[in-house]
Chain A
């Protein structure tokens, strides 16, 4: 056993971490070898295939990808639970392989599976967690009380966790992850399995956390809207590697412009005049016509609308409705991963079933 002393992790911001990336992973590779049964893939499943990310301190960083893309494996490696076959990673300035104990003191984790002891009460779970980080006495009691209050669990604190609703359990999980005031919080699919109401509440909670105390949050999700709403920066992961990263707006901005959808008041007799008329408007392209529906891309959708209406009016076509849509992350995913998000989801479900 090492003789390293336990320091109270309350103001623990190591010098190395200041200014450096909160999470820095380079070329992570991890293969899971099947054990005994299920010899469908004797070579193993390559969960990570050279994944690299860098997360600056104080932001919410989203890892977005379908099930089986390698998000959870990344979290397991970064939280010292699993070891990568190759590549290196540092969290809060500490190497996950060489200094796991320092990493553990600097991070909080909300895993996909709750991990809370269902037979113990909510308060017991929090107190035990604090003790494992060396917190004791009145200071621990105050911290636990504050967390119970903050996550709206004060009334249920004395009840066994198995009586909690899904939303309460998730809030408790987040509280457990925060007891020792970590610098980096990992949220591994925090809203999967929650009902819409509880999901919205969890989103608000994450937004509130993001503003506080310079906490860095690494969030994994397979919900496009969740990544879009919460992440300051995000990396799209597919088949064990990052296919693209940036801010949600940057990623969507890289798609060529907004989607413009025009609904005509009557069927156009011929498509050529429509395409000609719209093509003459500056910045509008990729025009297609299906019956009454005209779809096009525009560099600045909102600005193009009056000119589009005027152009259609000139050739005598009335317009029933116009909508302008910013590109969605789904479009981004399609472009970089080469398949649509929902298609990737269903493939990985099939792959997962064989495991």
Chain B
């Protein structure tokens, strides 16, 4: 990569980051929503931890990774809306007329998604800690969880961008997102140990990227981490992220052709 790509990526990311900071309502919702998840689900499912075979001591301990991953999915799956707005407003065309490196425009999206997801994840870890959650895996486990959720966020962000550029309709993004969020979350170990799921759900969960992120995170956060599980689930996540970013770059090129 030439230095121009790096500096262009930096400037484009900076622009998105400033936009994020300048929209306090959006910022506050991003922070409040996980709090609601944490305390709502924490209270609702508190007794789940007492079910034989559940494993974890406190449900809050179990819930923190679940909320982190669910938030990573739910905030990034709307990325396509922002892209659509930039297309409609003419901002994307404005940048395409400048000599900015094309790859920098997409890089900025990926970097921004990863950064905001990591930021959001750190906040949830802290909130959980204030609420009394324990993290037996220590700092290393938390870092793995945050990285895994950021990669997952990148996957959903890139798919959402690709969808936005392909269909150019808000309704499609809204429809697909509302359709996907809860099934993907519940077909993972976010709120319930997979061992307690019906068999068919366990099978589906094995192919669910949301569950890959959770498995990687939980394996690293355990008192005695299972690094093989971290590695294998992490690899699948990274592969899928690469595919998603590649797809969004392809749709970006097809957008340029349709101008």
Contacts and interface: CB of A to CB of B under 8 A. Distances in A.
Contact of B19 (A81, A83, A117): A117
B178 to A, nearest CB: 23
Interface in B3-55: 4-5, 7-8, 11, 15, 18-19, 22-23
B19 A113 contact: no
Contact of B90 (A104, A115, A124, A131): A115
B18 A83 contact: no
A128 B11 contact: yes
A118 B94 CA distance: 13
B89 interface: yes
A79 B19 contact: no
B61 to A, nearest CB: 39
Interface string A149-190: 000000000001000000000000000100000000000000
B98 A113 contact: no
Nearest to B1: A1
B97 A79 contact: yes
Interface string A118-153: 111000100011011110000000000000000000
Nearest to B21: A119
Nearest to A173: B94
A117 B91 contact: yes
A115 B2 contact: no
A34 to B, nearest CB: 11
Interface string A240-260: 000000000000000000000
Contact of A132 (B8, B18, B90, B93): B8
B96 interface: yes
B130 interface: no
Contacts of A328: none
B199 interface: no
A133 to B, nearest CB: 6
A132 B91 contact: no
A176 B18 CA distance: 19
23 contacts: A1-B4, A1-B103, A2-B2, A76-B259, A81-B96, A101-B99, A104-B97, A111-B93, A111-B94, A112-B90, A113-B89, A113-B90, A113-B93, A114-B89, A116-B91, A117-B15, A117-B19, A119-B19, A119-B23, A120-B15, A128-B11, A132-B98, A132-B99
Given A113-B90, A132-B100, 18 more contacts: A1-B5, A81-B93, A81-B256, A104-B98, A107-B97, A111-B94, A112-B90, A113-B88, A113-B93, A115-B91, A117-B91, A119-B18, A119-B23, A124-B15, A128-B11, A131-B7, A132-B99, A176-B94
Interface of A: 1-3, 6, 35, 76, 79-83, 101, 104-105, 107, 109, 111-120, 124, 128-129, 131-134, 160, 176
Q: Which 4 A-B pairs have the closest CB atoms?
A: A113-B90, A115-B94, A115-B90, A132-B98
